[in-house]
Amino acid sequence: MLSNNQQKKISKLVYKKYRLKMGLFVAEGEKVVNELLNSDYDYESIFSTNKTNENFFNLSIDEMNKISFLKTPSSILGVFKIPKNTSKIDFKNTIIAVDSVKDPGNLGAIIRLCDWFGIKNIICSRDSVECYNPKVIQSTMGSIARVSCVYLDLLTFLKKSKNKVYGTFLNEKSIYKCSLEKSGVYVFGNESKGISNSIHKYIDEKISIPYFNQRNKPDSLNIANASAIILSEIFR
Amino acid sequence: MLSNNQQKKISKLVYKKYRLKMGLFVAEGEKVVNELLNSDYDYESIFSTNKTNENFFNLSIDEMNKISFLKTPSSILGVFKIPKNTSKIDFKNTIIAVDSVKDPGNLGAIIRLCDWFGIKNIICSRDSVECYNPKVIQSTMGSIARVSCVYLDLLTFLKKSKNKVYGTFLNEKSIYKCSLEKSGVYVFGNESKGISNSIHKYIDEKISIPYFNQRNKPDSLNIANASAIILSEIFR
């Protein structure tokens, strides 16, 4: 059974404003929900169309369709609590910092990548897409259960950083020719504008993934693919 | 002005069946359309809301909304011809082969990546998503103008391959510990099922991207990110 109140509440969680106000977010699908249930995250309520647990709300498929944010709803939807204490930043490990990344799929893909490489947190500029956005959650494929995003003033963070700050640009020093420190901070810029001008002066080393296309210059790599290549190069 | 016939025709091009029947596909947005206009592709018709060329059809924004496949239509939409002669496969360069890749965004991202690395064609199993699918076209960001997809029977192709065939799996030999030949054929499998069983015996070397997460094993990398890492490792 789905109450009107539950339905209204969940529909609001598509908006950042209400997620932050209520301290809740939505995750859907067996994989993502199960990974969150097996993590430190607490849930507020779980809705399922194939009742498997007495603590879950059993819904009809029609009811699930009403609350799901997906085009093709899955059999399970969870409302989870946004953790109150932001996790401590692990300065001994590689730090990925994103500057004004707007696409939820890109942030989700970076979270999934960081999970693969054992990186616990990602620094996000305050104007980056929020990590509890339902599209980010879905594209992490459950990795959000293990990687947290810390939102802060990126300029101040980089200014104070004791670790070497690398910035990814076009046509700078090849990543294959420089030493990429494991304890470095690696900054990735906005999908179309790159790294903000105000931050340039706090970048210790400008790096680039060289292109291998002799005939013409493709103008950019997708930010998630660029992060994949750079993380591989650091950890290989 | 948009005629009813034009509108009907374009709306059909969202379906593979009609794309193949009519030999046409749709591309949208300044960047993608311009890259195609500057390439070997021929266009059938171009529709624009800010008339810039006497050969273009000038549309109102309302008319553009009627034909666009995008949530937020852009100022330009092009109907292009699917080339009749499939390009020759360049066996001297790296070959990327995808086996039953279904997600348009993933194939688009791989096309964009191949462009970066100067790879001209991608081998696709016949059940992979079609490269003229509008979502593939959009996610190539114009790289479709330079990279072509060749659809064929992948099993037969691999069986006859004179070049070494690598397959990407989980928990096999680390890509950082084997020699990745530049003239190799690199096979990437379906997003959830991996490489088809029927193909396994034609894989000369099974390779894996090792995970660096000590605490737990994330179960997979996104196929586009995996390709990014492997291409970087081949070309570095």
DSSP classification of residue B182: T
Give yes or no for a contact between B49 and B19, defined as CB atoms under 8 angstroms apart.
Answer: no
Q: How far is CA A60 from CA A57, A67, A73, B13, in A?
A: 10, 11, 12, 36
Interface test with A, best of B115, B177, B234 (most A CBs within 10 A): B115
Minimal CA–CA distance to A22: which of A8, A32, A40?
A: A8
B54 shares its domain with B115: no
B134: closest CA of chain A, how far (Å): 18
| Tens of pLDDT, residues A128-143 | 999 999 999 999 999 9
CATH number at residue A220: 3.40.1280.10
Q: In this model, does residue B214 exceed pLDDT 90?
A: no
Instruction: Check A221 against B109: CB less than 8 A apart.
Output: no
Residue of B nearest to A226 (CA): B228
Do B202 and B136 share a structural domain? yes
Give the percent of chain A with pLDDT over 70. 97
Q: Let me know if residue A171 belongs to a domain.
A: yes
- Taking only the tens place, the pLDDT of each residue in A4-13 is 999 999 999 9
Tell me the whole-structure pTM to 2 decimals: 0.92
Rounded CA gap, A90 and A87, in Å?
Answer: 9
Among the partner-chain residues A146, A221, A236, the one whose CB lies closest to the CB of B116 is: A221
Structural domain contains residue B90: no
Largest CA distance in chain B: 62
- ipTM, 2 decimals? 0.90
DSSP-derived 3-state class of residue A184:
coil
Reported as type and span, the H/E element at residue B104 is helix B104-116
Nearest chain A Cα to B139, which residue?
A: A222
Residue with tokens 């008339």: B51
DSSP B194: B
| Spatial separation of the C-alpha atoms in residues A113 and A73, rounded to whole Å | 25
Question: Strands B165-174 and B205-208: what pairing?
Answer: parallel
A185: amino acid identity, one letter? V
Q: Kind and range of the H or E element at A174?
A: strand A165-174
Contact of B95 with B89, CB cutoff 8 Å = yes
Q: What are phi and psi of A76, to 5 degrees?
A: -145, 140
Residues from chain B that touch A232, judged by Cβ atoms under 8 A, are: 209, 229, 232-233
Residues B67 and B112 in one domain: no
Is the CB of residue B215 less than 8 Å from the CB of residue B161?
Answer: no
Domain co-membership, B155 together with B133: yes
B214 contacts in A (CB within 8 Å)? 118
Domain identity same for A225 and A195: yes
CB-based contacts of A144: which residues, under 8 Å, 6+ apart?
A27, A32, A35, A36, A108, A111, A131, A136, A137
Residues B104, B128: one domain? yes
E-strand stretches of A109-154: 121-125, 148-152
Per-residue pLDDT tens digits for A181-222: 999 999 999 988 999 999 999 999 999 999 887 767 767 788
Residue found by looking up tokens 């707007």 in the block? A102
* Domains: count for chain B: 2
Q: Give A86's pLDDT tier (boundaries 50, 70, 90).
A: low
Tokens of B92: 């001297």
Query: B101 and B189 share a domain?
Result: yes
Let me know whether A25 and A118 are in one domain.
Answer: no
Residues of B in contact with A221 (CB under 8 A): 112-113, 116, 228
Label residue A88 by pLDDT band (50, 70, 90). confident
Q: How far apart are CA A206 and CA B169, in angstroms?
A: 34
Name the residue facing A115 among B116, B213, B226 (closest C-beta): B213
Choice between B51 and A124, residue whose per-residue pLDDT is larger: A124
